[in-house]
Structure 1
């Protein structure tokens, strides 16, 4: 029979598992290693104004995920105000409203921003060119001469904008530029000149992030659209092209940053602080929305997440058991009973769990040997063993508590039904094969359980299995490959030792 379908299945599982894991790491920045830190900026905007005793409505532009930064969480503080988050054509706003307010008012908005180099800018739609731009004399002549001079030294929209800005800075600032600056603000003037020349441009507002700074204000930046529709950012003061790494575009659609109806003397100031936090916490909010390729359990309640964090470790224990039984040839009492013991050891710690397991099984075997003389039916005998195990665990828990050994209370994490069946199987094995076989299988079970515990309790393994569900497909492929092995076990090679010696 051809093994091609089998290997195709294994290959598909491996490729799918690796692809899903790499996708989560690249697209959602889930770290490979536990304990990795991510840089997070916390920015607070404080809105101040004086209310006039009338209904008040305040609109504040909000930042969005952009190149270099991803919005994590948002919070507001506005006692007595109604609040709504609005979005229109890609522009986000926080809108506060109140029926009656008088005197000085303060509103707060804070946002946490993850430094994310993989984040990309939203698609920026070029603004429409104004139909008619009117200039008063003598500013019309100065504007046309400035535009003509910059066009002679440029080849396209971007180079024209760069040359135009340079004509307003430093030693290149001529009389026409100085005349225009006496009437217009620099950035609105540049936008007006660019539009006059047929170049789409607008003024945007950015915040320079600097750790520990307070009462900062937004800066005006010039966004110019090239002939192919892509946006290029310019510093209107220095003429530098491109977006600095520490620049956060707070409003990038050319609208107003703050609008207050029913108040005067409005202003907004910003404070910021930078700190590091675990990567798993920083990216958790973007993992809450599951999709077909971003399937995770982060959208579940925390209690269920904690449960699945343990359940997802079982395939690791199963892989250890399969390897030890198929490749090494280790004998165990029950197929996957060591995995369940390993799960209990995770809850009880290794030393406490091993001592508790040995005590329960030893006492259980002694009582089971007495039950064997009663000639009970199987169901009744196993039921009696289950009750015995419960009694043993109860007695040990009470005694450990009386002696102040609180660690002994964790023995209740052992699965009682599995313990009962383990005692039953070992008792039958003792009667049929003798105590030696019981020690071999019992010791093999404990050794397998300890190795599975060490693998399942590893912090890196716990992190990978919980955050990358594609790993489950990889484990399935490895188990299928091990299940296809038909060669000698490592422990069986001792039978051929005399041959090698000869």
Structure 2
């Protein structure tokens, strides 16, 4: 295999790996491809209120489970003076507050942040019981109610083909205020909700079913009671129904708090208990949502990455990761355009300095230091110093110039010039030494050409490196550097004419 083919194979593998990792972070971990993207994070607060009797108190609140379309980013508990722990009971998680003695009104709080993702709400199935306990309807005064229930079952059975369509038809009948059987049942069960009556009728029809408690995610809602959905087992899977419309499926903005199981709240040592909810929406940067979502999972791609470093080191790497982008700009301009620069990658270092000093200020400082440094270098050459001593003297001179510029600019109130220290001193010294040698060997014209080429490349590299999209991609998707490396390897195989050579030989073509 020839070296050229090897380059193309390696470049293809690098590009494939880099693009694949980027796609994984975007599609699976939710990292945004574009800067400035925000996600809606819902903050839900549950307030448990009750009156304590003066003795020992124990309150148990059922906690929501993980859902496929709802990601819990964080949760907090507040319970002044109460002990707290989380217990698992019958495939449910419950928050337990306890206290040896409490008197009067008490308030306990549980708060969680939820991010809604696309997709179905439920992952099938949980270990939910399919046992049916038929209601006892044998008393003489319940005879009319019993007949009404059986009448509803018969009507729904005749107008349906399976348990799913049976449930839909039953909910239609229970919502029809002109249905006499329905009205008789609700007059008897005055304290029961629509879902309660539906569960009663479904149990009579020997169909497993239970309620789902939850909330509709709508901004700025307070003191809410949980809403109920109906979940029915058709022999193969659990199907959720909205009780008012009778349509199957979980509503799009519905957050499931409890699916089946026991009561939402159990209280010992108190009375007048209730659970109310408040919901508010917050716009959060998409990257923060992704980081919070993968914090507990410890995804390897995030755990072993720049994000695991302290914030101070992350800010440093945010600048370092832009260096390969500047190197790519240099490669393109050197290989395809043919610009001559002073040093191969000195323009990249200048571009980094321009990022810190701002472009106009950086250009002025660089030009001033270069002119003064060349003047000092020409004077030192007359002293016949050794190379090492001469370069060291230039370095000292550059430091003195940088210090003088900083002091003078501070006295004049020019704060931007104080960032002169971001210029690489050694690179400046070597640049001055190289320019003086070029001046002596090739004349001042070549110095102007190389200096102008270096500044042009540095300006273009600065323009690319400060692009908000480039900054976002290099920091949040450093895997794209593999794609960049693949591109540079391919460019390294180019052996054609440069743009400057085409212009140079244009008279010969004519």
- TM > 0.5 fold call: yes
CA contact (8 A) 2:177 2:183 kept: no
Task: Provide Cα deviations, 1:330-362, integer angstroms capped at 9, x if missing partner.
Answer: 111121111111111111111111111222222
Indicate the residue corresponding to 2:217 in structure 1: 209
| Alignment partners' CA distance in 1, 2:384 and 2:102 | 88
CA contact (8 A) 1:127 1:200 kept: no
CA spacing shift, 1:179–1:189, aligned 2, 3 Å: closer
The alignment covers a number of residue pairs equal to 500
For 2:342, what is the secondary structure of its paired residue? coil
Task: Report the Cα offset of residue 497 of structure 1.
Answer: 0.9
Indicate the residue corresponding to 2:169 in structure 1: 163
| Alignment partners' CA distance in 2, 1:134 and 1:119 | 33
Task: Provide Cα deviations, 1:215-264, integer angstroms capped at 9, x if missing partner.
Answer: 111111111233332x3221234423222223221222434322233322
Structure 1 unaligned regions, length at least 5 = none
Task: Provide Cα deviations, 1:130-175, integer angstroms capped at 9, x if missing partner.
Answer: 3654514156954555444433433323222222323322157453
Indicate the residue corresponding to 1:254 in structure 2: 261
User: 1:167-206 to 2 correspondence within 5 Å?
Assistant: 167-171=173-177, 173-175=179-181, 178-179=184-185, 182-183=188-189, 185-195=193-203, 197-206=205-214
Pick from 299, 310, 325 the counterpart of residue 291 of structure 1.
299
CA contact (8 A) 2:327 2:348 kept: yes
Task: Report the Cα offset of residue 116 of structure 1.
Answer: 2.4
User: 1:99-110 to 2 correspondence within 5 Å?
Assistant: 99-110=100-111
| Alignment partners' CA distance in 1, 2:220 and 2:83 | 30
CA contact (8 A) 2:132 2:208 kept: no
For 1:214, what is the secondary structure of its paired residue? strand
Query: Is 1:473 equivalent to 2:479 in the alignment?
Result: no
Indicate the residue corresponding to 1:17 in structure 2: 18
CA spacing shift, 1:290–1:210, aligned 2, 3 Å: closer
Query: Is 1:439 equivalent to 2:448 in the alignment?
Result: yes
| Alignment partners' CA distance in 2, 1:297 and 1:64 | 31
User: 1:6-405 to 2 correspondence within 5 Å?
Assistant: 6-85=7-86, 91-118=92-119, 121-130=122-131, 133=134, 135-138=136-139, 142=147, 143=149, 146-171=152-177, 173-175=179-181, 178-179=184-185, 182-183=188-189, 185-195=193-203, 197-229=205-237, 231-288=238-295, 290-293=298-301, 296-405=305-414
Task: Report the Cα offset of residue 498 of structure 1.
Answer: 0.8
| Alignment partners' CA distance in 1, 2:88 and 2:355 | 48
| Alignment partners' CA distance in 2, 1:386 and 1:96 | 69
CA contact (8 A) 2:68 2:121 kept: yes
Structure 2 unaligned regions, length at least 5 = none
| Alignment partners' CA distance in 2, 1:450 and 1:60 | 62
Task: Report the Cα offset of residue 293 of structure 1.
Answer: 5.0
Query: So what's the TM-score if we normalise by structure 2?
Result: 0.89
| Alignment partners' CA distance in 2, 1:95 and 1:173 | 44
